[in-house]
Amino acid sequence: MKKTFVLLATTMISLGLYAQSNVPIIGADLIVHHAKITTQTAAQPVASAIAVKGGRIYAVGNDAEILALKDVHTKIIDADGKRLIPGLEDAHIHPLNERNFNYKVRWDGVPTLKRALEMLTEQAKRTPEGQWVKVTGGWSPYQFAENRQPTIDELNKAVSDRPLYIQYAYNRGYLNKLAMKVLGVGTSKFPDLPETELEKDKKGNYTGVITGYTFTFLTLDAMLPMPTPEEEVSSLVHVIHDLNRFGLTSVLDATSIIGYPEGHKPLQTLVRENRLNIRFPFVDLGWDQSSNEPFVETLLKRITKLAPVSPGQNLHPTMEHGYEYEGMGEALRAEIHDHENFDKPTYIIPKDRMMEYAEKDVRKLIEKRIPFRMHVTYNENLNPFLDAFERVVRTTPLDGMRWSVEHAETITPENIERVKKLGGGIALDNKMALHGDAFVKTHGIEKALYTPRLRDLVNSGIPLSLTTDAFRVSPANPWLAISWAVTGKSVSGATVLAKDNRLTRYEALKLYTTGAAWFENEEHEKGRIAPGNLADFVLLSKDYFTVSDDEIKSISSVLTVVNGKVVFGLDQYSNLAPKLPEPIPSWSPIKYFGGYHWDK
């Protein structure tokens, strides 16, 4: 009997093995091998190859075991020994505000003021009558070798026969003589903008230099020629191409001035045509320029009546988390928006005003289960906001609902703990990388060295991301932020972070991966090279973990993959990426200068 059982068992095993050997392997859609992979998983911190199926990573390991998962349909990419990291996510950025991106000369990354001025002159010759030459933010005077802003005389000399508008962050604007005439500066035609100063010379004539705050410059930009719908779509395509080149695979749009749904038309076109090459979660301000209602009220009308959508709902039909509504932000009301301008003293909101509005708005958002993000730059304004918040949750519990503080440059250790206790996160931007030199002049080097408190924030364990807040106050380049966090240096090369207030390279990278993913409740699906995670990853032009400190800021992607598909390729990978169409209009500065200056 025993002999019969053994014979039967042997026969069954043999038949099973024979059957398995004849079952074809269903291979990976994509395999990348011969890489130095930083997985950001504790159990398997390094690897050399990954396999992708259906938009997700399903195997990670060495070359031999992963290449064994291929079939005749598998696309195989040799990483040529380059560093591979999880796709980067910017958790606070404004790409939808760049609907006129193709109209702009971008000074982002340009190394000298001399070259920046030359670009204006060159573009003026191409710009048709009726259009403007303009630069709307994304640069810092401290990036230039000259270490200064342009003078109005230099700008008038650079461009005399076309209207010219230059915006520096949300701090200062410049209009050449023709631009002042077109806008009617000094006449009733030009709007009376609150908290705005129009500079005059000794004779009482307007110079064209304008100082103010956020709403000043948003109004000025809105007064200039607007793009056609076709140009808006083209602009967004070129914005996303730049983001992919930086290694960004997700961006959380932190409010567009023209809100949801009407301001999302260019994005919706790309979704409809299956041309969206980046994951695009968003929050919405609810701002209705024709209404004096509080933002929370106009937001509720938009998401319940005008274009119904629920927090966490994905509006992309084929890409997981492709176009997802994440709640309200980045501000709750204009009256409690503290403007960040490091050329000026701290902008302090009256305590009673902050307490009154914050309590009303936060309570209503929690009741409606709408996650929110609150712009607070200065700790002096964060104190009364948190006082109001703590009062609200005594009777209206959050019950796990996520929220965050945006920016929080001067937050104290005490308020870090208060935010953490309230279940919030902090989306910390890189303004000190771009404008830290100005902060030093205004507030002193001692305060600057601990602005923000990077080490305290990371050590606290609070949900934390590093962001750019592009495209007005900063370029969209995340490597500038990472470089500053690691080296402590601003774009001028000046030290603006104390040595004991800096991060390791691994810590800084996490703020752009798993840290950023927390803000859309996806930290278990994004930010790691691990089975089950979304197939978003990047091959770097330089090895982030071995290059010198000075080289970090010049890193870019040579291969960017989103949802398992190549969306950007450079050099030997250029033929794998979709072809980038020419920008519209034909005279677009982006056609000649690109969106970011890269050394040849």
Single out the residue of 504, 482, 543 nearest to residue 46, CA to CA: 543
Give SS3 for 157: helix
Residues of the chain falling short of pLDDT 50: 6, 9-15, 17-19
Contacts 24+ apart (CB under 8 A), 542-546: 542/83, 543/36, 543/82, 543/83, 544/83, 544/85, 544/505, 544/509, 545/38, 545/83, 545/505, 545/506
Assigned token pair, 85: 């990291």
pLDDT at 291: 80
What is the DSSP code (8-state) at residue 306? I
Q: Report the pLDDT value the prediction gives residue 13, as an integer from 0 to 100.
A: 45
Task: Find the angle CA(545)-CA(549)-CA(552) to the nearest 5 degrees.
Answer: 65
pLDDT given for residue 3 in this prediction: 52
Give the Cα separation of 562 and 540 in Å (integer): 15
What is the signed CA dihedral for 234, 240, 245, 250, rounded to 10 degrees?
A: -170
Q: Tokens 């930083």 identify what position?
A: 38
The full set of domain ranges for the chain reads 100-226, 329-503
CA gyration radius for the chain?
Answer: 26
Q: For position 23, what pLDDT does the model report?
A: 64
What count of other Cβ atoms lies within 10 Å of the Cβ of residue 229?
11
Residue type for position 328: M
Tell me what pLDDT residue 21 has: 53
Residue 215 burial (10 A CB sphere; 0-12, 13-18, 19+): middle
Pick from 588, 560, 595: which is nearest to 244 by CA? 560
Buried b or exposed e, range 98-125, using 16+ CB within 10 angstroms: bbbbbbbbbbbbbeebeebbebbebbbe
Structure tokens at 505: 């390279």
Q: Which of 366, 448, 463, 461 is nearest to 406 (CA)?
A: 463
Helix (H, G, I), strand (E, B) or coil at 309: coil
Report pLDDT digits (tens) over 389-426: 999 999 999 999 999 999 999 999 999 999 999 999 99
Token pair recorded at residue 389: 């918040």
Of 402, 397, 385, 399, the residue nearest 328 (C-alpha): 402
pLDDT at 11: 47
In total, the chain counts a number of residues equal to 600
Residue 454 · residue 483 · CB < 8 Å:
no
State how far the Cα of 242 lies from the Cα of 221, in Å rounded to an integer.
22
CATH code of the region 329-503: 3.20.20.140
* Predicted confidence (pLDDT) per residue in 315-326, tens digit: 999 999 999 999
**Would you identify the CATH topology of the domain 100-226?**
Diaminopimelate Epimerase; Chain A, domain 1 (3.10.310)
User: What ranges make up the beta strands (E) of 380-448?
Assistant: 403-407, 424-429
* Cβ atoms of residues 178 and 160 within 8 Å: yes
pLDDT given for residue 6 in this prediction? 47
Q: Are 482 and 503 in contact (CB under 8 A)?
A: no
Report which residue type is found at 222.
A
The token pair that represents 130 in the structure block: 């009726």
Residue whose tokens read 């070129």: 238
Cross-strand partners of 403: 372, 424
Compute the Cα dihedral for 55, 60, 62, 64 and give only its sign: negative
